[in-house]
Amino acid sequence: MIIKNISKLSEFGIFRSHNNSGVQDFGKYNLFYGWNGSGKTTLSSLFRCIENRTPSEKFPSAEFTVNLEGGAAITQANIGEADLNVYTFNRDFIDENISWSSVVKSILLVDKEKIAERGKLEDLKKQQKTDTEAREKEAQEIQELERAIAKFGTDSARHMKTSLQSIDTTDRYYLNYDKRKFKQFISNNLEATKSTAPLLDDQKIVELTNAAKPDQKSAITFDLKTINNETFTKAKTRLDDLLKTGVISKTIQRLVDHGDIKSWVETGLDLHKRHETNQCEFCGNEINEERINQLEAHFNDDYKAFQDRLVKADQWLSGQYIQQPQLPPDSDFYDEFKKEYSEGCTALEKSITTLNGEITTWHNVLKEKTGNPLGTRLTVEPITESSIKAFNDAMTAIGEAVGKHNHKSENFKEETNKAKKKLELHYATTEVRSFGYHEKQQQVVDRTIKNNKLKTTIDKRIMEIRTLEDSLSNEGLGAEQFNESLHKFLGRSELTLRFNPIKKGYEILRNDSDPVDGKLSEGEKTAIAFVYFITKLKENDNKIVDIIVVVDDPVSSFDSNHLFHAYSFLRSNCKSAKQIFVLTHNFTYFKLIRDWFYGINKNRRSKQSPKDPNAFFFTIEASTGLPRDSIITNADDSLINYNSEYHYIFSKLHKFKDNPTLSRDEAFLTANLARKLLESFFSFKYPKHRTDIAQLMACGLKGCKITDESTKEKIYRFINKYSHSIVIDVNEDSSENLVGESHNVIGDIFTWLQEVDEVHYNEMLEVVTGK
């Protein structure tokens, strides 16, 4: 992984609100230019935090986001888990490793002569690299799986909320349904959601949805009546007795054979007796006494008594027909019970029809017996048990529907909650099965356990590698390589390091014998620190290709010769680093590194298969207003293309000249740029007065006709009052005056430069404008 960009850097010293807007992503090679005080060292301390995997102690409120290619971003919250191999050279590194009056910390370089041990160490490191990469890859895949599970929780909670809100819009639990509730529900119903039992069908979902509605209904009154099978068993016994019973009489065969005639004659005989006449009302002839006696013998008292029994039996049987009971309307029921109730009512109606049909059959047989009481061959079938059972079952079903309804009315909240929970379980289980939630959760557990075991193996191997490295490491070898590099760097060999086992570090000696005791020039200190840093990169057999190198201004006290050594030393030792960040305020050093990086891009473009550039240039710019605020920006073309800082300053100020309105920050910046430009221009023209800006400007006024003393004084006052404004005491109107004056003064400055050296001015314009 390499560092892609810094998308957020706030409250980190002078970096108050950097957001990387419009800034090029970092490449393998990255060069930063910034004047003193712009924030270079502060930025390097961010890399130092990543190196040490600790947040900044200086800026405890700082927030940052360092994005990586091929890995999760590093923030102040997770910096302890950062896994970048970063080495940072800055003031903090020097202070932590070098005490100029006592000791320099040791460098543990691996002895190349111990071939067998080195071979074992190499094998261990290769296996360590393989296992570490495998563990990191597995950890990343586990994280992706966990993110998928977390996303599943969020998405499922949203689906659940949509489904559950249709049940009851007054229930706050479902109105505010979220990932936390969803996960808690699964936890509380773990076995149920793991079950392979069939899910609810659409009809059941509709029923439960209806059951969960918040509309409470009144209880229903219903009188449950059933039929005792014994009733019809006894009735059949009595009916069978009637049907088999006959009467002794002097029968008239024609009347026996023809029941209708028998009924007509019997009725007529009774009418004649009541009306005391023996004249046939039909034909008008007289009915003789013998005929009357024959008829009365046929219709004797036993016959009449039996006839009365048949009539009463008929009346009783008429009362046995099943009447449709008074049933409550289905609108009185909760929706989920309506279907059950309706089915019960339909079944009841059908059973009543069936039973009444069977009773009618009995009735018809009885009527036939009544029509011919002397017959004894008539029979009836029993009322079927299935018909009675169908009636009783239908009544029971209706009673159960009423019971369920009334139970819900009496326990309304409890029953609606049960329905909601069943639906919630259905929807949750549907989501869980569709995603394979439990299987993926188990995968996370199993893979994490396995990966943790691999981590344990890696950690044990770390100790084995360290033990082997310690046996191979040689502080004397570290001093030897350091001294060789330092002597080349300085061009002399009077300063050396010697390992002191008592102090467990290196003493700095002059002429190989005298401890320096802090008596070092700033240039010597810088050289020692920088060479020490580069040498330490190779400690414990580190590979430069695995290291991100950050170097902050290693040249503050060097002359031009040492600047070249610092550049050459960095290039020869770090060109193959995984990634390089160089920060400097020295334009000469910047130019050396810039040309190196520019050549890298040029080579990448010129090959047969051209590649994108991997070296990029940036500036760190601080606002001049208070409080100051620095940002990282893409380097201006003038900084990349020109060969001196003077070109850069001329270009920057000339752009402001053509800008009709300047912000307050831009106006302050113009004052600083104007001072630097005039000092550089007049110092070159009048080298005898390089230390005094007033004398330089006075010399520059000689021979001028356009720029007079008044204009010079205005420019002088402007650059002295507003440049370096952090330490200049200004009144409350100064900012407004600055904004108003800046544009005019810039124009006067360029007019003055043109008047003093028109050839130089015109050529500079060609350089910065391309015209």
In this structure, are residues 586 and 563 in contact, taking their beta carbons and an 8 Å threshold? yes
What per-residue confidence (pLDDT) applies to 474? 64
Say how far apart CA 77 and CA 637 lie, in whole Å: 37
pLDDT-derived band of residue 88, with 50, 70 and 90 as boundaries? very high
What per-residue confidence (pLDDT) applies to 143? 93
pLDDT-derived band of residue 728, with 50, 70 and 90 as boundaries? very low
Sign of the torsion angle spanned by Cα atoms 678, 683, 686, 689: positive
pLDDT-derived band of residue 736, with 50, 70 and 90 as boundaries? very low
Please spell the DSSP secondary structure of 597-614, one letter per residue: HHHHHHHHHHSSS-----
What per-residue confidence (pLDDT) applies to 719? 80
pLDDT per residue as tens digits for the range 67-80: 999 888 999 999 98
Least confident span in 589-593, 710-714, 764-768? 764-768
What per-residue confidence (pLDDT) applies to 471? 64
Q: Among 565, 601, 566, which residue's Cα sits nearest to residue 582?
A: 566
In this structure, are residues 440 and 148 in contact, taking their beta carbons and an 8 Å threshold? yes
Phi, psi of 580 (to 5 degrees): -125, 135
Sign of the torsion angle spanned by Cα atoms 624, 629, 632, 634: negative
Residue 659 in this model has a pLDDT that exceeds 50: yes
Average of per-residue pLDDT across 553-561: 67
In the chain, pLDDT over 90 holds for what percent of residues? 24
Q: Look at 63 and 681; give whichever has higher pLDDT.
A: 63
pLDDT per residue as tens digits for the range 340-374: 899 999 999 999 999 999 889 988 988 888 877 76
Say how far apart CA 590 and CA 644 lie, in whole Å: 10
Q: Look at 360 and 745; give whichever has higher pLDDT.
A: 360
Say how far apart CA 50 and CA 56 lie, in whole Å: 10
What per-residue confidence (pLDDT) applies to 556? 66
What per-residue confidence (pLDDT) applies to 731? 40
What per-residue confidence (pLDDT) applies to 254? 65
Say how far apart CA 250 and CA 264 lie, in whole Å: 18
CA distances from 333 to 219, 344, 398, 399, 558 (A): 9, 13, 11, 12, 97
Residue 249 in this model has a pLDDT that exceeds 70: no
Say how far apart CA 327 and CA 616 lie, in whole Å: 89
pLDDT-derived band of residue 583, with 50, 70 and 90 as boundaries? very high
Say how far apart CA 135 and CA 268 lie, in whole Å: 117
Mean pLDDT (the chain, rounded): 82
What per-residue confidence (pLDDT) applies to 110? 60
Say how far apart CA 582 and CA 592 lie, in whole Å: 11
Residue 265 in this model has a pLDDT that exceeds 80: no
Q: Among 89, 31, 43, 42, which residue's Cα sits nearest to residue 590?
A: 31
Amino acid making up residue 290: E
Least confident span in 119-133, 195-209, 509-523, 556-570? 556-570
Alpha helices in 558-626 (DSSP H): 560-574, 587-606
Q: β-pairing, 514-515 with 109-110?
A: unpaired
What per-residue confidence (pLDDT) applies to 300? 53
pLDDT per residue as tens digits for the range 528-543: 888 889 888 887 778 8
Least confident span in 66-75, 139-148, 297-306, 711-720? 297-306
What per-residue confidence (pLDDT) applies to 551? 95
Amino acid making up residue 569: F
Amino acid making up residue 487: H
What per-residue confidence (pLDDT) applies to 119? 77
Q: Among 707, 649, 636, which residue's Cα sits nearest to residue 676?
A: 649
pLDDT-derived band of residue 241, with 50, 70 and 90 as boundaries? confident
What per-residue confidence (pLDDT) applies to 727? 37
CA distances from 656 to 640, 650, 714 (A): 19, 10, 18
pLDDT-derived band of residue 730, with 50, 70 and 90 as boundaries? very low
In this structure, are residues 347 and 390 in contact, taking their beta carbons and an 8 Å threshold? yes
Residue 729 CB partners (closer than 8 Å, separation 6+): none
Residue 202 in this model has a pLDDT that exceeds 70: yes
Residue 334 in this model has a pLDDT that exceeds 70: yes
Sign of the torsion angle spanned by Cα atoms 187, 192, 196, 199: negative
What per-residue confidence (pLDDT) applies to 618? 95
253: its two tokens: 């065969």
